[in-house]
Amino acid sequence: MGPSFCLLLILIPVLQLMTLGSTQCSLDSVMDKKIKDVLSSLEYSPSPTTKKLSCISVNSRGRLSSCPAGMAVTGCACGYGCGSWDVQLETTCHCQCSVVDWTTARCCHLA
């Protein structure tokens, strides 16, 4: 074997290592870019139309007070210090005490 053949045998593995090294670096940079793209798409960006919570109180005589259509009960209050109430069908406050002179429903919706 001649000296040029020996040099060729030494240079081939060295060139392969150099090629693999540059391929690995470019693969790393491609993967980094993909990861950054995915993470940036996951970041919270508020919608351009911001909704506001709009609420009213509806007062009624007796044990029931209902919200207007499109609104939901978020809380109730009962007369005579009655603290026992429940919400029926998501739109009506029902005071559970035997003697109640008024009921108030707090009604809200997103506008």
- Print pLDDT tens along the chain (111 aa): 566 666 666 666 666 666 555 445 666 777 777 777 777 777 666 666 777 888 888 999 989 999 999 998 988 889 888 888 888 888 899 998 888 889 988 899 887
What secondary structure does DSSP assign to 1-34, as a single string? --HHHHHHHHHHHHHHHHHHHHHHHHHHHHHHHH
Q: Give me the pLDDT at residue 95, please.
A: 92
Report in angstroms the alpha-carbon separations of 59 from 63, 93, 100.
11, 10, 13
- How are the residues of the chain apportioned to helix, strand and coil, as percentages rounded to the nearest 5? 35, 30, 30
Q: Give me the pLDDT at residue 37, please.
A: 76
* Alpha-carbon gap, residue 82 to 65, rounded angstroms: 14
Domain ranges of the chain: 53-110
**Residue 79 per-residue DSSP state:** S
Domain made up of 53-110: CATH architecture: Sandwich (2.60)
* Alpha-carbon gap, residue 55 to 97, rounded angstroms: 26
Q: Give me the pLDDT at residue 49, please.
A: 72
